[in-house]
A and B are shown apart, each in its own frame.
Chain A
């Protein structure tokens, strides 16, 4: 309904371009991978398909961070937790599909449980052999965590750096919990050695192609949802909260409810991103909960341009491509320095990120009055 109204009001041309590109990529890349001979110059090897699929799931995660940070001013340094929870829900489904093909050949229990001498499946694992149930959990588990967390944090009016710190604490607490073997989710090894998804071999080229296409389409879909959302009155209230929170309150808006809705939605998006990531990468382990990963996500958004929706996608793709290039070469040990340097450089020289700066330039070029430059988000709240 919301999207229909957005489409009727005319899609922003940039949003249209992004969605068109994603749709073409979603179809084109798998076709080039499956139906061109391996020695053809336009052939896309399967490993590249999976790599691109991984980037796109990161882009969806970055999009979810931009929705809360760029538009509502909630700097979450723990979004990796929602991503990982979605990933674990998918991982649990994939583990249950292994069945008796595991090393220990136990039809009921995943290998690590047999190894730990467990006799029966823990309650938390019940139902995960069913794909629809697992999909539900992909959205519900991060969503409920975000709801509970946001309920307390936003109601107590925790904002700014304090909120960022407790989101870090949240993801770190989950990291420690998931590291424990007796927590029941594979300990520090996590889950891997997946065999099937919906009866198809996850390693097969065709499956990889489909997973890639689904990821690209999911990204396009959520990009559309986010674009419609920020263009609606809801989005305007969010920006009001970002720029002048107490003014918004004095207008009669319950700021905590708006924050809660957008935070839960964003967490669910991050969970879906995680669920798309796991079958393409073939492993999920607690490292996704590490605070550093969440901070990296924020860097993608900052590099691309926060508050632009396109920026986080561009940022996630660029930074991760750079990461792949650098960490496979002789420069591998300098990657973290480079990443840190990149963040500092963007903060100093491109505070609006790549997309924000480019669209600022474009707008000036069109010679509307000099006033057309976008005002930077004003962090100062009403007194």
Chain B
């Protein structure tokens, strides 16, 4: 293991994933420091979602190292275990539990014992209710707490999912296209919310929307065909001729 991995919150080195000969990730290396917020951009098929799948344990890489918190090898753990370690994920398409209310969605996400017997026998404490209230205020869904998630607007579902991420109390949040399908004002509010969250936690945001990435104002990594082609501020990467060639210039 490389020296650098020890201090990093998330450390990927030489990660390769191929599906039937197609290399979704090709020798991908990426380091996220504790407390950092990072934006990842790239054209379709660049490997952004696959990268998240590898980190969250959905996909096992054929080669490479993935370490969390310096020492935890993520390639040997499954989704539930990785989630318990403190990595939360928000999907591109908002996936909330549609037949549950907003409140129940948050309750299910709330950090705590995940065992089936605890779920049967342990009643929810007053402290948990308070935490749910707090999250409801943060994601501005207090009014809609008893509404089934199926009846939320698209933007509200995105926010509920972010709220569920917060309820998990993760150390690292992986957020896949949070601004997709949102109005301009919702997009701006989402950027503010993520910046607020990033004060306490590390965040990786995958996004297409350049205005949004600019609004975040953080270090940007550009992926293309499964590897990193450029890294730096948004102005730096926008000026990089390779980035212009594969992505921005098209």
| Residues of A that sit less than 8 Å from B by CB | 1-2, 5, 229, 232-234, 236-237, 239-240, 243-244, 246-255, 257-258, 261, 371, 374-375, 377-378, 382-383
Contacts and interface: CB of A to CB of B under 8 A. Distances in A.
Q: For B107, B119, B147, B164, which residue has the most chain A Cβ atoms within 10 angstroms?
A: B119
A377 B98 CA distance: 8
B100 interface: yes
Given A254-B115, A383-B92, A383-B95, 16 more contacts: A1-B121, A233-B124, A236-B100, A236-B104, A244-B98, A247-B95, A250-B79, A251-B168, A252-B84, A253-B114, A254-B80, A254-B114, A371-B151, A374-B148, A375-B99, A375-B148
A111 B161 CA distance: 65
A243 B107 contact: no
A364 B108 CA distance: 28
Q: Dominant SS at the A interface?
A: helix
Nearest to A249: B79
A150 B91 CA distance: 29
Contacts of B58: 246
A378 B98 contact: yes
Contacts of B147: 371
22 contacts: A2-B121, A5-B123, A233-B107, A233-B120, A236-B97, A236-B104, A237-B116, A239-B100, A244-B98, A247-B95, A247-B97, A249-B78, A250-B79, A250-B89, A252-B84, A254-B116, A375-B99, A375-B150, A375-B151, A382-B91, A383-B91, A383-B93
B119 A374 contact: no
A236 B114 contact: no
Given A2-B121, A234-B119, A246-B79, A239 B97 contact: yes
B190 interface: no
A255 to B, nearest CB: 7
A5 B124 CA distance: 11
B120 A2 contact: yes
B174 to A, nearest CB: 10
Contacts of B115: 254, 257
Interface string B172-200: 00000000000000000000000000000
Contacts of B124: 233
Contacts of B107: 233, 236
A252 B83 contact: yes
Given A378-B99, A383-B93, A251 B109 contact: yes
B108 A237 contact: yes
Given A251-B83, A382-B95, A240 B119 contact: no
Contacts of B121: 1-2
B99 A374 contact: yes
B155 to A, nearest CB: 17
B56 interface: yes
A233 B121 CA distance: 9
B80 A252 contact: yes
Nearest to A247: B95
B116 A261 contact: yes
A377 B108 CA distance: 17
Interface string B51-79: 00000101000000000000000000011
Q: For B104, B108, B123, B150, which residue has the most chain A Cβ atoms within 10 angstroms?
A: B108
B76 to A, nearest CB: 16
A1 B120 CA distance: 10
Contacts of B119: 232-234, 237, 258
Contacts of A249: 78-80, 83
Contacts of B151: 371, 375
A126 B93 CA distance: 58
Q: For A1, A251, A382, which residue has the most chain B Cβ atoms within 10 angstroms?
A: A251
Contacts of B88: 250
Contacts of A233: 107-108, 119-120, 122, 124
A258 B150 CA distance: 24
Contact of A250 (B56, B117, B150): B56
Interface in B98-135: 98-100, 104, 107-109, 114-117, 119-124
Nearest to B58: A246
Query: 5 closest Cβ contacts across the A-B interface?
Result: A252-B83, A375-B150, A234-B119, A382-B95, A249-B79
Contacts of B80: 249, 252-255
Contacts of A374: 99, 148
A248 B148 CA distance: 17
Contacts of B96: 244, 247
Given A2-B120, A246-B79, A252 B168 contact: yes
A375 B98 contact: yes
